[in-house]
Amino acid sequence: MDFIQQAINGLGLGAIYALIALGYTMVYGVLRFINFAHSDVLMLGAFAAFYLAPRMQQVFGQQSVFGVIMLFIAVALICALIGMTIERFAYRPLRHRPKLAVLITAIGVSLFIEFTCQNPHVFGAATRPFPKLVAETQFHLGNAIIGSTDILVIVVTAVLLGAMWFIVQKTRIGTAMRAVSFNQQAALLMGVPVNKIISFTFGLGSSLAAIAGILYSMKAPGIEPLMGVQPGLRAFVAAVLGGIGNLPGAVLGAVLLGLLETFAGGVPGLSNYRDAIAFGILILILLLKPAGLLGRATIEKV
């Protein structure tokens, strides 16, 4: 297969992983635990879009760009609310408990969402076709074919990453987020409303996951309640790969993993082992650099 073609596909996939990985890494940054329910928020985003898209098309007309933008915003808001609700009721009461208790709760929340949605009275376990949101065209670049969906994915991701960078580095709330991440107690003493900041972080991460969910469904248009598990796991590996808690690291890890997955998929016999390869590389990196590629190792003081 063509190298450029593979690189483009890999970038498209990596861009989606990056959006999801940012959520994992931001939550880890402020609360130091892995939000296993993140991948289920992605799935809920895809389902929200599935139900909202026909309404949006009624209001704004078939395949209108404005309608799609409104759909993205609406779904992002819904999932931000879901993320904040999960944090408020499942994680906040455990804020000062051992990390393990929070980790197990997160797994519990994830299973709860997955099995509730699989219930025939909610979404059901069957795969459903995701509606076409925008007209698709293909561009030829030498031998390589670039789908408009891939371009959309990369552009949306780039815009959102820029926005994220701006929020975290340049705004007051971003400064507060970094303060909470650095030292929660000290931030509280300095008058930072820690609960609000953590809630905001969850909202932001969840809305990114929601948009990733729509983009993922546009690329692979079949949605079901367990659809978040695979991309979620990969994004999570990507976040750890780059050094969890580190925003540029998450993006770097995601792009690397996306490229790797696509190239491994092109090699005959290797494609079945894609999950194993992702984890194998993760283990290797963690053994060589226990804090991830861009993470900084901490020394425990006695």
Partner 1 sequence: MPLPGAKRWLLVGIALAVIATYLAPQFNRYYLGIVIDVGIAIILATSLNLINGHTGQFSLGHAGFMAVGGYFSAWISLEIGSSAHAQWYFPLSLLAGGLLAAVVGLMVGIPSLRLKGDYLAIVTLGFGEIIRVVAQNTEAVGAASGLKGIPQYTNLGWTFGLAAVTIYVITALVNSTYGRGFIAVHDDEIAAESNGVNTTVTKVTAFVTGAFFAGIAGGLYAHHKRFLSPTGFDWLKSIDIVVMVILGGMGNTVGVILAAILLTLMPEFLRDFAEYRMIIYALLIILLMLLRPNGLFSFKKFKRRGTA
Residue 26: CB atoms within 10 A of its CB come to: 26
Measured from the CB atom, is 106 or 156 closer to partner 1?
106
Q: Is 95 in the site for partner 1 (CB under 8 A)?
A: no
Asked if 111 touches partner 1 (CB under 8 A), the answer is yes
DSSP conformation letters of 180-226: HHH-HHHHHHTT--HHHHHHHHHHHHHHHHHHHHHHHHHHS-EE-TT
Taking contact as CB under 8 A, which single stretch among the options 7-15, 18-26, 145-153, 280-288 is the one that binds partner 1?
280-288
Q: How far is the CB of 48 from partner 1 (least distance, A)?
A: 20
* Least gap, CB of 116 to partner 1 (angstroms): 5
- Yes or no: say if 162 and 24 are a contact pair by the CB < 8 Å rule: no
119 sits near partner 1 (criterion: CB under 8 A): yes
Distance separating alpha carbons of residues 144 and 1, to the nearest angstrom:
10
279 binds partner 1 (CB under 8 A): yes
Distances (CA, A) of 290 to 34, 228, 235, 246, 280: 16, 27, 18, 14, 14
The stretch among 43-51, 111-119, 145-153, 216-224 that binds partner 1 (CB under 8 A) is: 111-119
Does 34 interact with partner 1 (rule: CB under 8 A)?
yes
- Name the strand (E) or helix (H) holding 144: strand 144-147
Q: Which of 56, 223, 282, 294 binds partner 1 (CB under 8 A)?
A: 282
Binding mask 219-248 for partner 1 (x = CB under 8 A): -----------------xx--x---x----
Q: Give Cα separations from 124 to 112, 117, 120, 146 (angstroms).
A: 14, 6, 4, 34
Q: Does 268 bind partner 1 (CB under 8 A)?
A: no
CA 215 to CA 113: how far, in whole Å?
A: 21
Here's the x/- map for partner 1, 63-92, by CB under 8 A: it reads as ---------------------------x--
Q: Does 136 bind partner 1 (CB under 8 A)?
A: no
CB of 166 to partner 1, least distance (A): 29
Given 5, 33, 52, 145, the residue binding partner 1 (CB under 8 A): 33
Nearest to 251, CA basis, from 262, 260, 263, 242: 242
Instruction: Report the alpha-carbon distance of residue 223 to residue 106 in Å, rounded.
Output: 23
Interface positions with partner 1 (CB under 8 A): 32-34, 90, 93-94, 97-105, 107-109, 111-112, 115-116, 119-120, 236-237, 240, 244, 272-273, 275-276, 279-280, 282-283, 286-287, 290, 300, 302
